[in-house]
Structure 1
Amino acid sequence: MSSRNLPDDKKLIDLQRFQLLVDAITDYAIYMLDVDGRVVSWNAGAQKFKGYAADEIIGQHFSQFHTPEDQAAGLPGRSLQIAETEGRYETEGWRVRKDGSYFWASVIIDAIREDDRLLGFAKITRDITDRKKAEEALRVSEQQFRLLVQGVTDYAIYMLDKEGYVSNWNAGAQRIKGYRQEEVIGTHFSRFYTEEDQLDGVPSRALSTARNEGRFEQEGWRVRKDGSQFRAHVVIDPICDAFGEFVGYAKVTRDITEKHEAAIALKKTEQALQHAQKMETIGKLTGGIAHDFNNLLQIISGNLQLLSAEIAGNPHAERRVSNALAGVKRGAKLASYLLSFGRRQALDPKVVNIGRFVIDMEDMLQRSLGETIEVDTILADDLWNTFVDVAQVENALLNLAVNARDAMDSVGKLTIEISNAVLDENYARTHAEVSAGEYVMLAVSDVGSGMSPEVVAQAFEPFFSTKAEGKGTGLGLSMVYGFVKQSGGHVNIYSELGYGTTVKLYLPRSTEQEGRLATQAEEKIVGGTETILVAEDDEQVRTTAIDILTTLGYKVLHAGDAESALAIIDAGVRVDLLFTDVVMPGPLRSPELARRARERLPELAVLFTSGYTQNAIVHGGRLDEGVELLGKPYSREALALKVRSVIANCKR
């Protein structure tokens, strides 16, 4: 070999090496086509992908690698034409193996030229079926996710660009916020915030928090298209693309208005229940105090009345005794308020039409309030009856009217409104101790100074008062509260500072007919000669009762407890009336004493007395049937009349 052939030899060697390299590649099908598209070379990768050996395919037209559809469409010819004219043809598509199976191929065809003369084509094919399947799976997954997001109606799910403009919108967003997709895309998301939040910069802070901290989550009020507001739970997350570049935000909003309102209602109910429990505890305490207080008043009152008979003709002494007895009455009224608040007052309910009753009270109310207070009474048509203690209704109305007068500084308008009312289950769920049902509502309204929420919360508590010292006991509203609750009703206060107060009493409806209210005629005090057994554990109260009954002409026996009283009866002594305290120590209770005594003496009259009835003879706020009660402190006149009445009723 001469030296002149060395360069050509090197080229040949390089070409052989390149061919060996191409033939060894198995991840790509690399082969040559002549100008007509027939295969002129074939590497290992081509055999691997397409399944043909070199001797099977060389000389065959490359179109057989195309699907029948592509062949019919002329795709093989067009691909060579494009490669020839443009220098390269590049595409992806389905190709066919020898066994007829398909694979997804990435195809590149380059035109091969020498001195501008087309020699043929170099074709490189790669099997990218796995990648195509992954891309298709991703596409299907993304489509399904989009359909899922679009189909969600309980959540508003949408995208924001970097500046906060809406870029897509799902069905939930349309349902919750009221905007159609074409109305909202391209607008700034701050439009969904309240005007106050917009002015306060809440939208921009939300995006800043999401961008810098990775998430923004909060509850707040949002605005619908129609201007109405709803309580929303909002989450904003930043979104980055596959390269980690920040591209915008994903925003999820849920309407939690019902949940929010339910939480508020639950909190109110819990607060109301706690308040009711507090009032019940105070009621038990005040009831116990009232019992002891009434016993003390009975001792004082009884002895003053006995003393008044001994000082007859001494005007100075009579005046002092009279003043002292007036003080006893005030104390008794105070104790009565305590018992009413504690729901321990023995009620004497009657079926009554409150409307007619209040009309009858108008003159008395006007006299009590003065000419500078205008009283306006509004009665609804066809008022229902209610079953209440009329005396307690009168006290309650007077208390509310006087409170209203004081709140208006004795000048203004007092409105009394009476109507039928139905409290439904929704109302009952949010108000502790309220039963759904039909009621008669008695409302007393003034145009006075009103009360703050803090004052309203304490208004029913005993001894709480906003009046100047010495101007009130702080028991008026407590009495009203206790009476209404004991009657099975409900009471509520609505007040606003500077605008006045309305107190509403809801008294249970009665379907029975109204009876005639008895008028109290003045009766003459009469004594007797019967034998009365006094059972009283407090020695001073017992002594006072004995002395009063003795002055009335009765023969009096006495016992310090129920067992001692029963022993006297068992001894065979004739007794016409048992006068017993309701609450006494010992295993034998007063109601049981009365039952056993009547077993022994069927014609025995029984009169109970107490400053605090508990549940011994009073149930549901009413005296048990057939029970006669004289509350402490009682006067000589009241005791005399009650004794004659009970004895007379027993003889009938």
Structure 2
Amino acid sequence: MAVESLRSQPWSEAERVRALESYAILDTPAEAEFDEIVRLVAETFAAPIAVVNLVADDRQWFKAEVGIGARELPLDVSICAHAILQNDFMVIPDTREDDRLACNPLVTAEDGLRFYAGALLRSAEGLPIGTVCVLDRTPRPDGITAHQRLVLEVLARQVMTQLELRKTLARQTQHANELSAEVAQRAEAEAALRGIEERYRLVSLATNDAIWDWDFATNHVTWSEALETAHGHRLEQVEPTGEWWIEHIHPDDRARIDRSIHAAIDGTADSWSEEYRFLRADGTYASIFDRGHIIRDAAGAPQRMIGAMLDLTERQRTRAELAINEERLRLATEAAEVGFWDVDIIHDILIWPPIVKQMFGISADAPISMTDFYNGLHPEDRGHTGEAFDAACDPARRALYDVEYRTVGKEDGLIRWVAAKGRGMFDAEDRCVRVVGTAIDVTGRKHAEAQLRQLNDHLEQRVTEVVAEREQMAEALRQSQKMEAVGQLTGGIAHDFNNMLAVVIGSLDLLGRRLGDQDLRAKRYVDAASEGAQRAATLTQRLLAFSRQQPLNPEVLDPNKLVPGMSELLRHSIGADVRLETVLAAGLWRTHADRNQLENVILNLAVNARDAMPEGGRLTIETQNAHFDERYASSNFGVRAGHYVMIAVTDTGGGMSPEVMTKAFDPFFTTKAVGKGTGLGLSQVYGFVKQSGGHVKIYSEAGEGTTVKIYLPRFVGEETAEAVPSFPELLRGERQEVILVVDDEPAVRQFSVDALTELGYRVLEAEGAAAALRLLDAHPEIALLFTDIVMPDVNGRKLADEARRRRGDLKILYTTGYTRNAVVHNGVIDPGVELLSKPYSIEQLAAKIRAVLES
């Protein structure tokens, strides 16, 4: 099976394979860095198989593997090939459910591969060359977590970092080898040039130049045969005069040479030399170095002049080619950021181009010597660097100078890493005359290697820390979900339970009022039943508080006033054996919370503290400002960063074990004896604080007491007067207003009708919204609509909206045992809404009816 590119891919298969081959990684031996990566993958996923897989054009090859036992497999059984085609991170929870693998023998086998997850290895150009993948013989329907995907992607990038580093090192090595070859070519060219110069010298000595003899008296010039062999002029066709010679000089040089030679002849010079261009027989010009000796008589008059024409054409061509090669070498080394250096051992001369000077922190135009080289070495590297240079100069060893060292910049003080290579050059007497080589600034590579080592050292530790953090967050999430599920359950039963309690409590209240003091025994039974029903109502309220579905009526509170205001109640509740202390912080912020619920929370915590100190002790209530930063909020699930007001209740009791603390907020969990507690006290605290947007924390150790800290959000806004709770007496409907009662529960509706009638109101009743609207249209004297919220078909809120549309002045009073967010949002009663929660007493009903009618 060949891996074919999809039409949507921006690359071809040939491009992808070339990208893979550029890393030269296929068929290389196993390496510890890659083996550690696959072991880490296998351990992270708790899987038997993990692979660093490279997909070639005809096979898949494993650079490292756990659980395979082979280094390569055919491409037609490759799962990773599909990841290449997908061009993205790939997860297959169950391979037998993937049509692409229906015929794959590795999948269909009895103990075949059933799960796969792989992150792509991408080249620097973005081409997928393989994967880091994990496999299991058991399907994993849930796939992988976000953390596991992050681990795979991080390790895939780690693999590519290793491959890119190998590739960079290979490229630098290749550049260095090419430079060494260029250096060798230059040395050969220089040797060739010296040979040419030597040959020309020998030719000149052997009169192989075009020798001429000019007789001034006859103006006759005699030429040697070299004129023909060197320049093509047949001697029998040459006019043997000085004018012929002058005529064959290039027009641009002719006048200059004519003046120069005659000035020498006419003067007192004994010799003459010049360079010019001479016309050959084939029409080309030769570059000539001409020199002659002037023969004079005793009086100094010129008689003859004998000279030789040295053809410099080839020499100049060689020099030009050498200059070109030197320029190419310079450009190549600059492009590769490789510097060339040359040490003349005999004359103690050091040649450095600007790029090498820069490695030693020296300006490009500054003079340098071997002293600069040794002084520029880092003190810790001078020893082995000098020893390596001496070994390269030693005729007995002739070692390759291959060393890495640090330099300390002479002018900038910067520390750099340099990789240098070179060889000694020896003469016929076996003396080292020169050492030439290259130098590369590898500071960036060294830093990358250090970062890579650090990453390797800390990767496993970081992965472990991340896994631990994720497990802690997962545990907090599971706890939150458990509490939420229990809250949903308790809220679900609250409506029906409160309706039943409303009937029981209301009926007992009416019955007690009818009995009066006529039958004291019956009155005692009624009171006992009422007390039990009230306790059941309190239990239901605590369940609703825990489930965060208790309607709250928040107001701006100053805890420094609320806590002292509860002192008498608290002392009465905790008894004389417990000493109450308060520590109130100066400058305490205000908070926005339900006064009654907050008082109940503090009272609950105080009673729990009292029960934890059966032999007496000290109860401390403390207030303080607090701030949660982002780090604390991120490490505590569900907590938001910001300012909070803290109220702490601390006892000196026996404390809690860690096992008890983990269950302390669970509903119905208690360590008290049977009949001594419901297990809902701390659950109510938890629900109220969470519903109010706060945070609650328990600090306790066995034998060291317990502190419960509740954090309520700081109130930021205009100052408002705190509401003062009132306790109205029983108010009657002396004006006999007409009230419409709507409730789908017959027993609850009947109690409401009887109670309102008892209070002196005229009452109409309806079991649903349709009947209620008909009565509203038929009785314009109706002053107040008293409706349940949770009803089938049309709920109380929609009924009230329709009633207000018809009668804009109609008063509305809601009642419910469970709101379901009809008139309560985010735990707070909607503005302008009047609500009477079930169950309620006749006194509560009377007070609320009057308050709504007179509002």
- TM-score above 0.5: yes
Kept in 2: contact 1:92–1:107 (CA 8 A): no
The counterpart of 1:534, out of the listed 717, 726, 741, is 741
Task: Letter of the 2:520 partner, please give it.
Answer: P
> Match of 2:714, SS?
strand
Q: Distance in 2 between matches of 1:261 and 1:354?
A: 40
How many residues are paired up? 456
Q: Distance in 2 between matches of 1:281 and 1:498?
A: 33
Task: Letter of the 2:841 partner, please give it.
Answer: S
Q: Distance in 2 between matches of 1:329 and 1:424?
A: 43
The match for 1:273 is: 477
1:459 equivalenced with 2:655 (yes/no): no
Structure 1 segment 251-400 matched on structure 2, within 5 A: 253-254=457-458, 264-312=468-516, 313-400=518-605
Give per-residue Cα distances to partners, 1:403-447, cap 9 Å, x unaligned.
122223342222211011122222222223322222111011122
Kept in 1: contact 2:477–2:637 (CA 8 A): yes
The match for 1:227 is: none
Task: Letter of the 2:828 partner, please give it.
Answer: R
Kept in 1: contact 2:632–2:641 (CA 8 A): yes
Q: Which has the higher contact order (CA 8 A, sep 6+)?
A: 1
Structure 1 segment 473-488 matched on structure 2, within 5 A: 473-488=678-693
Deviation, 1:498, is: 2.6
The counterpart of 1:637, out of the listed 834, 840, 843, is 843
> Match of 1:524, SS?
coil
| Cα distance change of structure 1 residues 646 and 256 upon mapping to structure 2, 3 Å threshold | same
Q: Distance in 2 between matches of 1:103 and 1:504?
A: 77
Deviation, 1:325, is: 0.2
Deviation, 1:151, is: 7.7
The match for 2:789 is: 582
Deviation, 1:268, is: 3.1
Deviation, 1:468, is: 2.1
Task: Letter of the 1:607 partner, please give it.
Answer: L
Deviation, 1:103, is: 8.8
Q: Distance in 2 between matches of 1:611 and 1:519?
A: 23
The match for 2:694 is: 489
Q: Distance in 2 between matches of 1:568 and 1:472?
A: 48
Deviation, 1:574, is: 3.1
Task: Letter of the 2:726 partner, please give it.
Answer: Q
> Match of 1:494, SS?
strand
Task: Letter of the 1:324 partner, please give it.
Answer: A
Deviation, 1:483, is: 1.1
The match for 1:557 is: 764
Percent identity for Structure 1 against Structure 2:
45
> Match of 1:641, SS?
helix
The counterpart of 2:774, out of the listed 567, 592, 597, is 567
> Match of 1:416, SS?
strand
Q: Distance in 2 between matches of 1:518 and 1:401?
A: 23
The counterpart of 2:677, out of the listed 453, 458, 472, is 472
Give per-residue Cα distances to partners, 1:587-643, cap 9 Å, x unaligned.
x22112112212222332211111112211112322222211111111122212221
Q: Distance in 2 between matches of 1:282 and 1:307?
A: 36
> Match of 2:739, SS?
strand
TM-score normalised over the length of structure 1? 0.63
Kept in 1: contact 2:653–2:705 (CA 8 A): yes
The match for 1:523 is: 729
The match for 2:216 is: none
Q: Distance in 2 between matches of 1:377 and 1:591?
A: 44
Give per-residue Cα distances to partners, 1:204-252, cap 9 Å, x unaligned.
xxxxxxxxxxxxxxxxxxxxxxxxxxxxx8xxxxxxxxxxxxxxxxxx6
Kept in 2: contact 1:93–1:105 (CA 8 A): no
The match for 2:828 is: 622
Kept in 1: contact 2:729–2:843 (CA 8 A): no
> Match of 1:253, SS?
helix
Give per-residue Cα distances to partners, 1:361-419, cap 9 Å, x unaligned.
12221221122212221111111111111111110001111112222334222221101
Give per-residue Cα distances to partners, 1:101-155, cap 9 Å, x unaligned.
x99668998xxxxxxxxxxxxx9x9xxx9xx99xx78xx78x949x854786646
Deviation, 1:579, is: 0.8
Give per-residue Cα distances to partners, 1:536-556, cap 9 Å, x unaligned.
011111122122222223222
Q: Distance in 1 between matches of 2:575 and 2:493?
A: 35
> Match of 1:444, SS?
strand
| Cα distance change of structure 1 residues 69 and 362 upon mapping to structure 2, 3 Å threshold | closer
Unaligned runs of 5+ in 1: 1-46, 57-66, 74-88, 95-101, 110-122, 158-171, 173-232, 234-251
- CA-based RMSD: 3.8
> Match of 1:450, SS?
coil
Task: Letter of the 2:714 partner, please give it.
Answer: R
Kept in 2: contact 1:369–1:410 (CA 8 A): no
The match for 2:802 is: 596
Q: Distance in 1 between matches of 2:775 and 2:619?
A: 58
Q: Distance in 1 between matches of 2:346 and 2:740?
A: 126
Task: Letter of the 2:852 partner, please give it.
Answer: V
Q: Distance in 2 between matches of 1:342 and 1:381?
A: 34
> Match of 2:457, SS?
strand
Q: Distance in 1 between matches of 2:451 and 2:581?
A: 52
Kept in 2: contact 1:91–1:106 (CA 8 A): no
Deviation, 1:506, is: 0.9
> Match of 2:666, SS?
coil
Q: Distance in 2 between matches of 1:70 and 1:611?
A: 103
Unaligned runs of 5+ in 2: 1-187, 200-341, 349-394, 401-421
Q: Distance in 2 between matches of 1:562 and 1:428?
A: 47
Q: Distance in 2 between matches of 1:504 and 1:362?
A: 19
> Match of 1:448, SS?
coil
Kept in 1: contact 2:633–2:640 (CA 8 A): yes
Q: Distance in 1 between matches of 2:780 and 2:558?
A: 49
The counterpart of 1:545, out of the listed 749, 752, 757, is 752
Q: Distance in 1 between matches of 2:447 and 2:630?
A: 38
| Cα distance change of structure 1 residues 69 and 316 upon mapping to structure 2, 3 Å threshold | closer
Q: Distance in 2 between matches of 1:414 and 1:567?
A: 59
Kept in 2: contact 1:530–1:576 (CA 8 A): yes
Q: Distance in 2 between matches of 1:592 and 1:460?
A: 37
| Cα distance change of structure 1 residues 93 and 149 upon mapping to structure 2, 3 Å threshold | closer
Task: Letter of the 2:775 partner, please give it.
Answer: I
TM-score normalised over the length of structure 2? 0.49
Kept in 1: contact 2:732–2:760 (CA 8 A): no
Kept in 1: contact 2:731–2:850 (CA 8 A): no
The counterpart of 1:612, out of the listed 815, 818, 829, is 818
Q: Distance in 2 between matches of 1:280 and 1:602?
A: 40
Q: Distance in 2 between matches of 1:103 and 1:394?
A: 90
| Cα distance change of structure 1 residues 106 and 284 upon mapping to structure 2, 3 Å threshold | same
Give per-residue Cα distances to partners, 1:131-183, cap 9 Å, x unaligned.
x99xx78xx78x949x854786646x6xxxxxxxxxxxxxx7xxxxxxxxxxx
Kept in 2: contact 1:346–1:618 (CA 8 A): yes
> Match of 2:561, SS?
helix
> Match of 1:466, SS?
coil
> Match of 1:492, SS?
strand
The match for 2:635 is: 430
Quick check: 382-391 or 446-455, which moved more? 446-455
| Cα distance change of structure 1 residues 537 and 150 upon mapping to structure 2, 3 Å threshold | closer
Deviation, 1:514, is: 4.6
